[in-house]
Chain A
Amino acid sequence: MNQKIIYFPKDGQPTIIANEWQVWDGERDEGGIPDLEHGLHKVLVPFHWWITHYKNADIIERANRGEIGVWFAADDDILKHADLIEEGKKLWPVVGAHFPIFRDGRSFSTATLLRDRFEWQGEVRAIGDVLIDQLLQGARVGFDAFELRPDQNLDVALKQFDLFSVVTQNSWRDQRATTAA
């Protein structure tokens, strides 16, 4: 995992901050979610895992402490689970959307739907194969946090957000410039 993330709130500036969330793939740690006492205290669990485990008492307890968020795989059809996600609004401080490979753009639509359809107000974090040159698109569709692949240069990444001062379609962050002209 990357020790640092880029955090770029909707009405703020992009900054580099410490990463407080570990992403768990749902596979290792057979007994359940990773040991929160010895690792990071907060964990993003796969949404498909959440679906089958969210009624467990220990999970509820940790979720109530704000230590659990979920991440959506690129092929999760989040519209099929609207009720769970509505409930999750009160529970998850952070949700992630995963890029299995940088050129898979499904999570751009996932983020759009989270913001637009679910009116998700909390953090939406890009995870997985997140590269410098996806940041601009991600920021516009609804991501406000980016855990980049560890080999990416965060200083170069941070400069991306200044590249464009105009856009020609509406998105979560901005209205198209062409209506103002």
Chain B
Amino acid sequence: MYKYDHIDQTLVDQRVIQFRDQVERRLNGTLAEEEFRPLRLQNGLYHQRHAYMLRVAIPYGLLSAEQLRTLALIADKYDRGYGHFTTRQNIQFNWVELEQTPDILAELAKVEMHAIQTSGNCIRNITSDAFAGVAADEYIDPRPVCELLRQWSTLHPEFAHLPRKFKFAINGAKEDRTVLLCHDVGIELKKNPAINNGELTADIYAGGGMGRTPILGSLIKQGLPWQVLPSYLTALLRVYNRFGRRDNLYKARIKILVKALGPEEFARQVEGEWAQLHNEAKQSKDNFTQAEWERVAKHFTKPAYQKLNTVSNEVILAATPETERAAFARWLDRNVKSHQIPGYASVILSLKPHGTVAPGDATSAQMNAIADLADQYSFGELRVTHEQNLVLADVEQTQLLHLWRAAKNNNLALPNIGLLTDIIACPGGDFCSLANAKSLPIAKAIQERFDDLDYLFDLGDISLNISGCINSCGHHHVGNIGVLGVDKDGEEWYQITLGGEQGNDASIGKVIGPSFYANEIPDVMTSLINTYVEQRTGDEPFIETYRRLGVTPFKEVAYKNNGKHSKGALA
């Protein structure tokens, strides 16, 4: 995992000093709130419904046990004993004091962490595959590129006040686990013998995003050598900085510019700008160098794996006491993923036990326990997934049973990964000041309704995503089932979308019709799920059945059995 050198450490330490000064000026009144706002946002400090919230960067989702312990400490010392892992692989603390944020940042800096550019109209924290470096289907470990670009984007002077926020995702595996096409820029890494002598290259997708106008990104450049990423991305961002709309907040994202110009014209303009930047006289200056690559890549080497043989699940289960076998088998099936190295597996710890306060929440006690598990079973490292779970990436298969038992003791072992109750949800009206409706009680009610693990297992992969408003922090557009909080005459309603999908076949869900009251949602879900169960053929997953049948049968049952609009909210 990446280790700071004196350059990284100096930068982060000096950033703490800078932000401390900015907070002091805010507190003594020489800096107006309106002018402080973008500054605090570029440090991940929001003002939410009840208090300040601090979003801490977890670059490409990678954490050490020591860092997680510091997060636990921050939760205890400066917050209310928990943190919230987000869909962008960050962590949020919901109850911090403005006065204390510089101290929190100083605490973070001690363990090579920060909150730089986790919000605001700048290049945000870069996300990637939570299974980077270990996934069996990976062809390139994307992390050195992620890290090089993290450094390149950190406190970038030209792009400090873009029209809107700017999000990168980077993928290097066959299956896309990064929601690549829903990012302002998606970078797909390739090593193709036919391109650039088989050297590492990047395909660039631009103009994706969710929010009010969900759009999937378009391919605008192929086969870009990794060394020239700084100049190409500079060109791309410069076009956006100069010509992105600033008159209307809702039209300011790059997706609107790309759509207005058309991807071809946008690509042409970027190319024109890049040709100027990337001429021979200048390219040696801006390109990433081999030395820089080595400087970061040396930290992403493989841990000290043992020479082991792959063990099949049958063998593992045969060695499991009978009383535990059925439950453990479920967990193996849902929460354990295949690995590049024989004898190892990656384990997903579910942060979505049924009836949880909020998907993605972890208490400080859990964080400390997870840090211990990481030390004991996974070389002291872990990852955050954009589905708001945590991953121990390098577990010996023979240790899985022990790990499962320990995870169970900490309420982290629910075998619901990828199932209906593995809900992605934003904090919604309980915390967020922008919300139109609550999302957490909806998530909880659905988990309570679908509490039967056998049944959930039988349903198989279904993604359910909930956002409290059109900003789409809960990614509802790419959920097979999406729930969106809407406001009608000051009341909370919920709109359902169907057919969204993340991954290689990413698609944006369609609204099925008028919205529902909160207390109708569990019944609506039941109707939708029953229809799927009746209509599926064999093992067909929900999304396939939906694609085969279209929206009509689902829509009919949703409104036939429900939609009476009996008033009432969920507790």
Closest-CB distance, A96 to chain B (whole angstroms): 17
The reply to whether the CB of B10 lies closer than 8 angstroms to some CB of chain A is yes
List residues of chain A with CB under 8 Å of any chain B CB: 77, 102-106, 108-109, 112, 116-117, 131-134, 136-138, 140-141, 153, 156, 163-171, 175-179, 181
Given the interface contacts A108-B241, A133-B39, does A166 sit within 8 Å of B10 by beta carbon? Answer: yes
Contact B295 A156 (CB under 8 A): no
Closest-CB distance, A6 to chain B (whole angstroms): 16
Contacts of B276 in A (CB 8 A): 117
Contact A105 B161 (CB under 8 A): yes
Given the interface contacts A103-B121, A163-B18, does A168 sit within 8 Å of B154 by beta carbon? Answer: yes
Assembled-state Cα–Cα distance A37/B288 (Å): 53
Assembled-state Cα–Cα distance A111/B360 (Å): 43
Contacts of B238 in A (CB 8 A): 109, 112
Closest-CB distance, A68 to chain B (whole angstroms): 26
Closest-CB distance, B286 to chain A (whole angstroms): 6
Contact A171 B286 (CB under 8 A): no
Closest-CB distance, A126 to chain B (whole angstroms): 12
Contact with A along B144-162 (1 / 0, CB 8 A): 0000000111111111111
Contacts of B156 in A (CB 8 A): 169
Contact A136 B157 (CB under 8 A): yes
List CB contacts (< 8 Å) of B1-53 with chain A.
Answer: 5-7, 10-11, 14-15, 17-18, 22, 25, 30-31, 35, 38-39
Contact A103 B151 (CB under 8 A): no
* Interface residues in B, total, Cβ within 8 A: 42
Closest-CB distance, A107 to chain B (whole angstroms): 9
Q: Is the interface of B mostly helix, strand, loop or mixed?
A: helix
Contacts of A140 in B (CB 8 A): 157
Contact B161 A108 (CB under 8 A): yes
Residue of B nearest to A171 (CB): B157
Closest-CB distance, A137 to chain B (whole angstroms): 4
The reply to whether the CB of B285 lies closer than 8 angstroms to some CB of chain A is yes
Can you list 17 A-B contacts (CB < 8 A)? A102-B38, A103-B38, A103-B121, A105-B162, A112-B158, A131-B35, A136-B157, A137-B158, A140-B157, A153-B30, A166-B7, A168-B152, A169-B152, A170-B230, A171-B157, A178-B292, A181-B5
Contact A175 B230 (CB under 8 A): no
Contacts of A108 in B (CB 8 A): 157-161, 241
Contact A168 B25 (CB under 8 A): no
List CB contacts (< 8 Å) of B137-177 with chain A.
Answer: 151-162
List CB contacts (< 8 Å) of B284-337 with chain A.
Answer: 285-286, 289, 291-292, 295
Given the interface contacts A103-B38, A156-B25, A181-B295, does A137 sit within 8 Å of B154 by beta carbon? Answer: no
Contact with A along B224-238 (1 / 0, CB 8 A): 000000100000001
The reply to whether the CB of B547 lies closer than 8 angstroms to some CB of chain A is no
Contacts of B10 in A (CB 8 A): 165-166
Closest-CB distance, B449 to chain A (whole angstroms): 45
Contact B158 A141 (CB under 8 A): yes
Assembled-state Cα–Cα distance A117/B278 (Å): 12
The residue from B35, B38, B241 contacting A109, defined by CB atoms under 8 A apart: B241
Contact B11 A164 (CB under 8 A): yes
The reply to whether the CB of B110 lies closer than 8 angstroms to some CB of chain A is no
Contact B242 A106 (CB under 8 A): yes
Contacts of A138 in B (CB 8 A): 157
Contact B7 A177 (CB under 8 A): yes
Given the interface contacts A166-B11, A170-B285, A171-B157, does A178 sit within 8 Å of B241 by beta carbon? Answer: no
Closest-CB distance, B160 to chain A (whole angstroms): 5
The reply to whether the CB of B268 lies closer than 8 angstroms to some CB of chain A is no
Given the interface contacts A102-B35, A106-B241, does A163 sit within 8 Å of B17 by beta carbon? Answer: yes
Given the interface contacts A109-B242, A156-B25, does A181 sit within 8 Å of B7 by beta carbon? Answer: yes
Contact A104 B161 (CB under 8 A): yes
The reply to whether the CB of B408 lies closer than 8 angstroms to some CB of chain A is no
Assembled-state Cα–Cα distance A171/B159 (Å): 12
The reply to whether the CB of B246 lies closer than 8 angstroms to some CB of chain A is yes
Contact A163 B241 (CB under 8 A): no
Assembled-state Cα–Cα distance A108/B161 (Å): 9
Contact B285 A178 (CB under 8 A): no
Assembled-state Cα–Cα distance A121/B235 (Å): 22
Contacts of A141 in B (CB 8 A): 157-158
The residue from A103, A104, A167, A178 contacting B155, defined by CB atoms under 8 A apart: A167
Assembled-state Cα–Cα distance A131/B35 (Å): 9
Given the interface contacts A166-B11, A168-B7, does A77 sit within 8 Å of B157 by beta carbon? Answer: no
Among A156, A163, A166: residue with most chain B CB under 10 A: A166
Residue of B nearest to A149 (CB): B35
Closest-CB distance, A146 to chain B (whole angstroms): 14
Contact A165 B14 (CB under 8 A): yes
Closest 3 CB pairs of A and B: A105-B161, A137-B157, A140-B157
The residue from A103, A106, A116, A169 contacting B230, defined by CB atoms under 8 A apart: A169
Closest-CB distance, A28 to chain B (whole angstroms): 26
Inter-chain pairs besides A108-B157, A169-B154, A176-B152, 5 sampled, C-beta below 8 Å: A134-B160, A167-B11, A169-B157, A170-B230, A179-B291
Assembled-state Cα–Cα distance A102/B286 (Å): 28
Closest-CB distance, B152 to chain A (whole angstroms): 5
Contacts of B30 in A (CB 8 A): 153, 156
Closest-CB distance, A128 to chain B (whole angstroms): 13
Assembled-state Cα–Cα distance A117/B10 (Å): 32
Contact B285 A171 (CB under 8 A): no
List CB contacts (< 8 Å) of B234-287 with chain A.
Answer: 238, 241-242, 246, 276-277, 285-286
Closest-CB distance, B293 to chain A (whole angstroms): 11
Assembled-state Cα–Cα distance A175/B241 (Å): 22
Contacts of B39 in A (CB 8 A): 133
Contact B155 A168 (CB under 8 A): yes
Assembled-state Cα–Cα distance A108/B6 (Å): 28
Residue of B nearest to A110 (CB): B242
Contact B14 A164 (CB under 8 A): yes
Given the interface contacts A106-B242, A164-B11, A170-B285, does A178 sit within 8 Å of B157 by beta carbon? Answer: no
Contact with A along B536-548 (1 / 0, CB 8 A): 0000000000000
Assembled-state Cα–Cα distance A170/B231 (Å): 10
Closest-CB distance, A50 to chain B (whole angstroms): 20
Closest-CB distance, A25 to chain B (whole angstroms): 20
Contacts of A156 in B (CB 8 A): 25, 30
Assembled-state Cα–Cα distance A165/B8 (Å): 11
